[in-house]
Amino acid sequence: MQKTLKSQVVLSGVGLHSGKTVTLRIHPAPVQTGIWFRRVDVTGQDPFVAAHWDLAQHSPLCTKLVNHDGVYVSTVEHLMAGLAGCGISNALVEIDGPEVPILDGSAHEFVAAFLDAGVIEQSEPVQAIRILKEVRVGNDDAWARLTPDDMLTMAFEIDFADAAIGHQKKSLALANGAFVHELCDSRTFCSNSDVETMWANGLALGGTLSNAVVFEGSDVLSPGGLRHSDEPVRHKMLDALGDLSLAGAPILGHYDGYKAGHTLTNMLLRALFDQPDAFCYVTCDAQTAARLPGADVTASDVRQIA
């Protein structure tokens, strides 16, 4: 069945790229609502922005959604991953600024807040998107692909010059709370050599060693080190789930990403919906629903962060 929050969730923090403080209020919503943002600081324009793939615009290092009036919400990927990973189908996200707060750089605080508030079933079943044939975008240097599967599975591979990251790959079936157990606490990351470049381009103005993992060669500069030995590739999978959730329904299929990022994953959704014979919508029976991300997860499943 579709799900929403049992009660409102309120979270505040700084935007990773803007450096501005922002507050989110995530409200329960009726069946068939989907996920919507409302910019409460906007007047004289449409303040509503749908969490939908066709509103995503290319933006360096994040996912940015822009409505027909040019009103936007950026850096939505971790919040969207948290909603999808908790199985939340319907919610209204009120936000008093243009960028979702980065919090600790992962989806952990979103997930913990959602599960503490409670997630409740609603009166109508979930519609999912079943992948029927391969859809692929990119080139030999970086690509993303969807192929048929009976649940959402994911494989990701990265390769970075920093020895502390290097070559990493991971595969995961996103059922049985795997997102909450395995991915949600993995943080965004960068090389220390990239920080000044990002600052010069007006990015990462709110970035600190507390909300991102910063690498320099073989060293991890962030206090406490890594939460997982392969935290970077896990974070890439977290991002991919958030970006795939902009399809508007859970995906039943296998996602492969090779050095992929937000733009490639959005290009993949655009390619998918351009090919009507590559997918179909299905009503999830109890067996299928039990394999969706977020099925049967509770607050006790959230890993404690030291």
Q: What is the pLDDT along the chain (306 residues), one digit of tens a residue?
A: 999 999 999 999 998 877 889 999 999 999 999 999 999 999 999 999 999 999 999 876 889 999 999 999 999 999 999 999 999 999 999 999 999 999 999 999 999 999 999 999 999 999 999 999 999 999 999 999 999 999 999 999 999 888 889 999 999 999 989 999 999 999 998 777 777 676 677 766 667 777 888 888 888 888 888 999 999 999 999 999 999 999 999 999 999 999 999 999 999 999 999 999 999 999 999 999 999 999 989 888 888 876
262 is catalytic: yes
Q: Is residue 257 part of a domain?
A: yes
Closest CA to 99 of 77, 84, 115: 77
Same domain? For 143 and 195 the reply is: yes
| The one catalytic residue among 17, 78, 254, 262 | 262
Residue-range definition of the domain harbouring residue 167? 127-301
Domain CATH code at residue 93:
3.30.230.20
Centre a 10 Å sphere on the Cβ of residue 61 and count the other Cβ atoms it contains.
17
In a domain, 9, yes or no: yes
- Indicate whether 150 and 85 sit together in one domain: no
Give 38's contacts (C-beta < 8 A, 6+ positions apart). Answer: 47, 48, 49, 92, 93, 94, 95
Residue 117 covered by a domain:
yes
Rounded to whole angstroms, what are the CA distances from 102 to 35, 112, 121, 147, 301?
A: 19, 15, 28, 31, 22
